[in-house]
Amino acid sequence: MKLVRMLTAIVLALPFLAVGAMAQDYLLRPGDVVQIEVLEDASLNRTAIVLPDGQISLPLVGSVRASGRSLTDIQSDLATRLASSFATPPTVYVTMSALAERVVGTARTIDVFILGAAATPGRVEVAPGTTLLQAIAQAGGLSPFAAKKRIQLRRVDKSGNEKVFSFDYDAIERGVAGGLTTRLADGDVIFVPQRKLFE
């Protein structure tokens, strides 16, 4: 019966042991909070936040780089730096106190510019991966005076060369021409010319 209880206790403790092992492998980031304990001198015990420059601070040691390092690395580093202040090497523990808040859901946007006979020409912020048609729709569509068969997408590449792609909006709407899969890039300009008299 004792053996069963011992095995049950070990099995129940395994998840916590695994979490502890993972915490030791975790690389700190700015905003994370750690707990520092020095067994030989309780006055050095403190909670430290990893500053935006990646440093933490401790008396007798000063600033120590923490960002991008594991708890074990920092623990060892602090013990080495504190050793000269103690008769025997100190026992230092560094544990995770709190994770930095991670910003989730703040998607980056790109700027696309729509000129000419659009319903609302100007700069439009769109999500990366937005297509030509989606950007036009986001800008309110085309004006009644738009030359739908001569829409241009103007893109400047990294070398500074401008490329011009032509689209027939009517053909795209009918599913005859491509354009539904044309993904926009930051800085793209969509030019919608005005319709000629008998166009």
Per-residue pLDDT of the chain (199 residues; tens, 9 = 90+): 444 444 444 434 434 333 444 455 788 888 888 999 999 998 999 888 888 788 898 888 888 999 899 999 999 999 999 999 899 989 999 998 888 766 555 557 888 999 888 888 888 888 888 888 888 888 888 888 888 889 999 998 888 888 888 888 888 777 776 656 778 888 899 999 998 877 6
Distance of CA 191 to the CA centre of its chain: 32
Residue 15 lies in a domain: yes
Predicted TM-score (pTM) above 0.95: no
Mark out the alpha helices in the chain (DSSP H runs). 2-25, 71-82, 132-138, 169-174
Q: Which residue in the block uniquely carries the two structure tokens 């020095």?
A: 38
CATH code, 133: 3.10.560.10
Say if residue 146 is in the same domain as residue 119. yes
Say if residue 94 is in the same domain as residue 178. no
Q: Pull the structure tokens for residue 175.
A: 């599913």
CATH code, 11: 3.30.1950.10
DSSP H or E segment with residue 83: none
Cα 163 to Cα 27: distance, rounded to the nearest angstrom: 44
Residue 116 lies in a domain: yes
Say if residue 69 is in the same domain as residue 30. yes
Say if residue 94 is in the same domain as residue 68. yes
Domain count, the chain: 2
pLDDT in tens, 76-100: 999 999 999 899 989 999 998 888 7
